């Protein structure tokens, strides 16, 4: 492991050095790193500085401590790796409706394409169960916003699981959490304007697109599951006055 002595911002510089050496292949998954004492000597810093940097890298899922053997570079994807990225998305999301709409469209499109690539026909067929439940909720004489919203969530969560990609699933779930109010508003507006069946049919189209592995259909139909025209929002706003 090539290490240069550092001074200012020591903890961050240790982390940056590990990152660079992972990128350059000088550190590899499963490789044991030097001890705290050895690293401190090589970096020219106090042991508590090295210890702090290692703690951060462990929390990020880059390193793992195997007592009493030592500290190693993690092998493969570790769940904590994605957390800093997700917090970054959450903190920088802003309050723009259009930006959140774009983010949701990008994420759901990507999720569907991943499902088409990774899921078997039998797995995709399991989406029929939450789809039927959504249809029943939408076709009640007076559909409940909360029930329809819940059934919509169950359908999309089941679809995300079929991506067979923990990174995609985790980010997609976070995006759905961030857009909770937007999605709830869409369901509420569609039910209020008598479009419950249209909402169900939009999801039925998504199911058919996945079943037929229709990549072009993903781009054509994805926004129809949650887009409500501005003029309809105005109608609802006037009716509530």
Confidence category of residue 173, pLDDT binned at 50, 70, 90: confident
Torsion angle of the four alpha carbons 34, 35, 40, 43, in this order, in degrees rounded to the nearest 10: 10
106 and 200 part of one domain: yes
Residue 114 falls inside a structural domain = yes
Confidence category of residue 240, pLDDT binned at 50, 70, 90: very low
Q: Say if residue 82's pLDDT is above 70.
A: no
CA 233 from chain centre, in angstroms, equals: 28
66 and 149 part of one domain: no
Which residues constitute the domain of residue 228? 95-239
Confidence category of residue 141, pLDDT binned at 50, 70, 90: very high
* pLDDT tens string 97-120: 677 778 888 888 999 999 999 999
Cβ-contact 15, 55 below 8 angstroms: no
Residue 3 falls inside a structural domain = no
100 and 23 part of one domain: no
Residue 2 falls inside a structural domain = no
167 and 202 part of one domain: yes
Domain containing residue 23: CATH number: 1.10.10.10
> By CB neighbour count within 10 A (0-12 exposed, 13-18 middle, 19+ buried), where does 45 fall?
buried
Residue 176 falls inside a structural domain = yes
126 and 235 part of one domain: yes
């Amino acid at each position: 492991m090539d290490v240069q002595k550092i001074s200012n911002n020591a903890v961050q510089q240790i982390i940056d050095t590990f990152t660079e050496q992972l990128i350059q292949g000088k550190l590899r998954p499963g490789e044991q790193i030097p001890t705290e004492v050895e690293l401190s000597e090589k970096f020219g810093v106090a042991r508590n500085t090295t210890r702090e940097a290692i703690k951060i890298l462990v929390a990020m899922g880059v390193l793992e401590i195997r007592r009493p053997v030592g500290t190693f570079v993690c092998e493969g994807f570790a769940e904590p790796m994605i957390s800093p990225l997700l917090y970054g998305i959450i903190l920088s999301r802003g309050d723009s409706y259009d930006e959140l709409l774009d983010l949701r469209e990008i994420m759901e499109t990507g999720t569907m394409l991943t499902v088409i690539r990774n899921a078997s026909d039998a797995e995709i067929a399991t989406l029929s169960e939450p789809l039927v439940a959504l249809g029943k909720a939408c076709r009640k004489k007076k559909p409940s916003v909360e029930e329809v919203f819940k059934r919509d969530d169950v359908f999309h969560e089941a679809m995300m699981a079929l991506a067979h990609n923990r990174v995609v699933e985790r980010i997609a779930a976070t995006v759905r959490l961030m857009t909770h109010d937007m999605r709830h508003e869409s369901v509420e507006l569609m039910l209020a304007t008598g479009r419950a069946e249209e909402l169900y049919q939009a999801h039925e189209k998504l199911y058919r697109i996945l079943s037929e592995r229709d990549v072009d259909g993903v781009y054509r139909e994805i926004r129809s599951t949650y887009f409500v025209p501005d003029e309809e929002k105005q109608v609802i706003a006037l009716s509530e006055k």
